[in-house]
């Protein structure tokens, strides 16, 4: 099984069968973890990607705790119930992922996926408690839809903290968790992961060019009309996966 042809008119597929939609979301989730691993993220077990179940929307799929990102398969995913219990699959649930993701999924019914991990530029940038400025093309995907969580919890260990993250994020696409790193959401797994990788690129520009001159607000708004489109995140994921996971059959 190879990747489907990517064309300008290609879009996230729709499904009449919930089982097929579930399999698609799980495959995208496993591929997202593989991509994170290929980029050198999650090597210390830090990070998580969720995929809302289409039939049980109050549940989400997550990589079982202890599975290396670069080895993720569909069979390694576990279904997490609203109370944090294991609803389906085999393995241990990442508790931090539950405490962060579940409140966001509850607060944002349109969100299919939440992505977060610790990165080489996003994490140090988050320590500045500053929003992205329009200093690159990719930055315009976030400048009008970003937020900052100013909590000091570097290890999220309870649901209350997760609720405060969800509240701080509001309706935005990107939330910078203070001294912790970026978190993105999407209406598909591909969108959430694609925008996450893009946010890391934006953070790199900010770290490397701290005195960069931003484009004007007017120019940023014009650019954002294109850059904020959910398709940009989705399409970025398609290119990324084709580059770092050439054979999608590895995830099952």
Predicted confidence band at 21 (pLDDT cuts at 50, 70, 90)? Answer: very high
Predicted confidence band at 2 (pLDDT cuts at 50, 70, 90)? Answer: confident
User: What confidence tens digit (pLDDT) does each residue in 55-94 have?
Assistant: 999 999 999 999 999 999 999 999 999 999 999 999 999 9
Looking at the predicted structure, is the pLDDT value of residue 8 above 90? no
DSSP 138-161: GGGGTTTSEEEE----SS--SHHH
Amino acid 100: pLDDT: 97
Predicted confidence band at 1 (pLDDT cuts at 50, 70, 90)? Answer: low
The Cα–Cα gap between 135 and 210 comes to: 10
Encoding tokens for residue 244? 């770092």
Half-sphere exposure of 195 (CA within 13 A, CB side): 34
Across residues 226-231, what is the average pLDDT? 94
Amino acid 122: pLDDT: 98
State pTM to two decimals: 0.96
Q: Which DSSP symbol is given to 55?
A: S
Which domains can be identified in the chain, with CATH numbers? 18-242 (3.40.225.10)
Q: Which residues in 60-90 are b (16+ Cβ under 10 Å) and which e?
A: bbbbbeebebbebbeebbbbbbeeeeebebe
């Amino acid at each position: 099984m190879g990747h489907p042809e990517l064309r300008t008119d290609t879009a996230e597929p729709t499904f009449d069968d919930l089982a097929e939609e579930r399999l698609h979301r799980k495959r995208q989730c496993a591929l997202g973890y593989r991509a994170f691993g290929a980029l050198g993220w999650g090597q210390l077990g830090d990070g998580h990607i969720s995929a809302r179940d289409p039939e049980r929307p109050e549940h989400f799929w997550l990589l079982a705790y202890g599975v290396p990102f670069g080895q993720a398969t569909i069979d390694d995913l576990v279904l997490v119930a609203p109370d944090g219990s294991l609803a389906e699959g085999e393995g241990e649930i990442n508790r931090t992922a539950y405490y962060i993701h579940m409140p966001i999924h509850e607060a944002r019914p349109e969100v299919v996926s939440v992505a977060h991990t610790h990165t080489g530029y996003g994490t140090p940038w988050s320590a500045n408690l500053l929003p992205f400025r329009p200093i690159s093309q990719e930055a315009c995907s976030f400048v009008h839809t970003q937020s900052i969580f100013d909590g000091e919890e570097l290890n999220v260990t309870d649901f209350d903290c997760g609720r405060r993250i969800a509240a701080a994020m509001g309706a935005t696409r990107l939330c910078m968790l203070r001294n912790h790193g970026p978190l993105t959401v999407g209406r598909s797994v591909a969108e959430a992961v694609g925008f996450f990788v893009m946010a890391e690129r934006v953070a790199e520009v900010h770290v490397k060019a701290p005195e960069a001159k931003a484009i004007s607000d007017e120019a940023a708004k014009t650019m954002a009309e294109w850059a904020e489109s959910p398709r940009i995140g989705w399409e970025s994921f398609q290119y990324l996966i084709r580059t770092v996971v050439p054979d999608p059959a590895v995830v099952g």
